[in-house]
Amino acid sequence: MEVVITALGPDNVGLADPIIHYVTGQGARIAEIQMYDHDEEQLFAMICRIDIQRNQYQPLVDAMRQIGQHTKLAIRVWSSERRAPDKPRLAICCTYKDDTPRAVLEAIAAGTIGADAAVLISNRGKLQGLAEEFGVPFSMIGDENGAADDAAMVDVLDEFDVDYVVLARYMRVLPPSTCWQFAGGRIVNLHHGLLPGFPGFRPYHDAFAARMLTFGATCHFIIPELDAGNQTINQRTFSVSPGTPLDAIIEQGGRENEPACLVEGVRRVVDREVYLHFHRVVARSTP
């Protein structure tokens, strides 16, 4: 059973020792380990991916809870296999546009994505009706100006016991602290441009200015280190004729291309076709 352990908290000496000592003492195979000391923030962060027997999972959860209480670290233990044969639970995060989150909800309802929609999270109240339409709890974590309460988001993710966080045109940047707590391939994002060629907030505009006739979207894992690559899960493109107005391109991309790109990307993750290993997307070998 593959398990991901993440730890985040005030920097100090020897924080990783009890975690590593416990897992090695249980005979676990360590497949990946990364540790970071953010000196300017006095913050310690760690991710450890291990292989254990299924009957060791709950004792591991209990042991990490005790270690977290002792070290003052926020420690999370998670496995993509923990619910089997039940479906994983998704948090769908969005802001204004409903095409993309709607596509994910429709794919879940149709069985294309083998998961349950646990909660719809937004920094705006506009899409509450979408949550009600699909019978999904809605959590608004933004203030009157749309500024997101990132700590409240983490609380909601824990409250609904979420497996994967799907950023379906969620128009806020997640802070590194949130990314660390759900590291290891648990946060899936849709970027409305082709990476790595067109990053940033205006990829349609940038591609249009470059006189491109092919536009696209990228579904990728989010990781704490923004400059470590784009971690692509899926990309989808569409072509237009010369002279097509920018507004028409953006409309077509948002209505058709982006939703299809994200749905297929989420399906690949939920079906465990791919996973994140040392910040790189890896295809799982078939038995």
Q: Does residue 121 share a domain with residue 182?
A: yes
Q: Does residue 267 share a domain with residue 130?
A: yes
Look at residue 144 and tell me if it is in a domain: yes
Instruction: Provide the pLDDT for residue 127.
Output: 97
CA distance 76 to 5: 6
Cα separation values, 271 from 95, 114, 197, 250, Å: 26, 7, 28, 30
For residue 65, the enclosing domain spans 2-78
**Residue-wise pLDDT tens digits, 192-232:** 999 999 999 999 999 999 999 999 999 999 988 654 567 99
Look at residue 13 and tell me if it is in a domain: yes
Instruction: Report the DSSP beta bridge partners of residue 236.
Output: 217
Instruction: Report the DSSP beta bridge partners of residue 154.
Output: none
CA distance 272 to 1: 13
Count of domains forming the chain? 2
CA distance 199 to 210: 13
Look at residue 84 and tell me if it is in a domain: no
Instruction: Provide the pLDDT for residue 11.
Output: 83
Q: Does residue 158 share a domain with residue 116?
A: yes
CA distance 56 to 26: 8
Q: Does residue 94 share a domain with residue 57?
A: no
Q: Does residue 11 share a domain with residue 39?
A: yes
Instruction: Provide the pLDDT for residue 39.
Output: 62
CATH number of domain containing 60 = 3.30.70.260
For the chain, residues with pLDDT lower than 50 are: 227
Smallest CA-to-CA distance from 163 within 180, 140, 179, 187 is with 187
Instruction: Provide the pLDDT for residue 92.
Output: 98
Instruction: Provide the pLDDT for residue 147.
Output: 95
Instruction: Provide the pLDDT for residue 36.
Output: 86
pTM of the model: 0.94
Q: Specify whether the CB–CB gap between 92 and 120 falls below 8 A.
A: yes
CATH number of domain containing 206 = 3.40.50.170
